[in-house]
Structure formats: C-alpha cells, structure tokens
C-alpha cells in the first residue's frame, strides 16, 4: 500500500532551521530521506519539505487571508509517500522520522487510482 507520512513540527523545530542547530536538523532529515530511498520504499517525485507556517496563505471560498488553516502548535512541515506492505511498517518508518517529541507524524493511506 502507499501511505503518506505527514510531518508536523513544533515552533521550536521550525526555528532550528535558522539557528545554530540548522546543520544537525537538515542532516537528520536528509539521512532519513536517504534511508527511505535506499530501502526502496520512497515513492519518488512525491513529497516535499515546506516553508514555515508563517509563509502560508489560506484561500477559503473567495476570501484570501494570512494562514495557516489551523491555529495549532504543530504545523505541517513536509510530507513523503512510501510504499510498504502494512500500517505497521508505515508506523515503523514514522517512528524513525527526526520529528521532535513536540511534533507528530500522521500516517494516511493514499487513495488508489480507480481501476479499469
């Protein structure tokens, strides 16, 4: 099955990107993505890291305003898609993500394309 791993990061995580810890932060993420890629579970061409939530804009109907959508502590930081056999395997990969204890990873099965 294909699952999307959606990474939610805390404000402190986003701040790391610009701080003295930036090297360790980006290093951990690129090691994780390499690991997914080397294990041949990563769906290539899907997924991205995202700019911090203060760059977000929300369109709701005809209204446009400063975003993000939900005013929560954890915000969407990025996502990937992986191909694994079961939810348990997806959970195992989610646990390896370098998301801090204040963040979270949501796992969602990806809709399969309609069959002929």
- What are the residues whose beta carbons fall under 8 Å from the beta carbon of 85, sequence distance 6 or more? 1
Report, in Å, the least distance between residue 72 CB and another protein. 21
CB closer to another protein, 50 vs 110: 110
Place of tokens 């400063």: 66
Report, in Å, the least distance between residue 111 CB and another protein. 10
CB closer to another protein, 3 vs 8: 3
CB closer to another protein, 22 vs 87: 87
* Residue 15 in tokens: 């701040």
Cα–Cα dist 84/40, whole Å: 9
**Which residues make up the interface to another protein (CB under 8 A)?**
1, 3, 85-88, 90-91, 107-109, 112, 114-115
Three-state secondary structure call for residue 112: coil
Report, in Å, the least distance between residue 11 CB and another protein. 27
In terms of Cβ atoms closer than 10 Å to its own Cβ (0-12, 13-18, 19+), residue 39 is: exposed
CB closer to another protein, 71 vs 116: 116
Report, in Å, the least distance between residue 94 CB and another protein. 11
Q: What is the distance, to the nearest Å, from the Cα of residue 23 to the centroid of all Cα atoms in its chain?
A: 19
């Amino acid at each position: 099955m294909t699952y999307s791993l959606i990474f939610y990061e805390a404000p402190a995580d986003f701040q790391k990107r610009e701080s003295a810890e930036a090297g360790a932060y980006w290093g951990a993420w690129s090691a994780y993505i390499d690991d997914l890629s080397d294990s041949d579970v990563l769906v290539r061409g899907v997924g991205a890291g995202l700019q911090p939530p203060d760059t977000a804009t929300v369109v709701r109907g005809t209204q446009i305003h400063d975003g993000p959508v939900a005013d929560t502590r954890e915000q969407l930081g990025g996502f990937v898609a992986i191909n694994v056999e079961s939810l348990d395997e997806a959970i195992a990969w989610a646990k390896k993500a370098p998301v801090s204890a204040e963040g979270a990873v949501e796992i969602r099965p990806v809709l399969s394309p309609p069959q002929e």
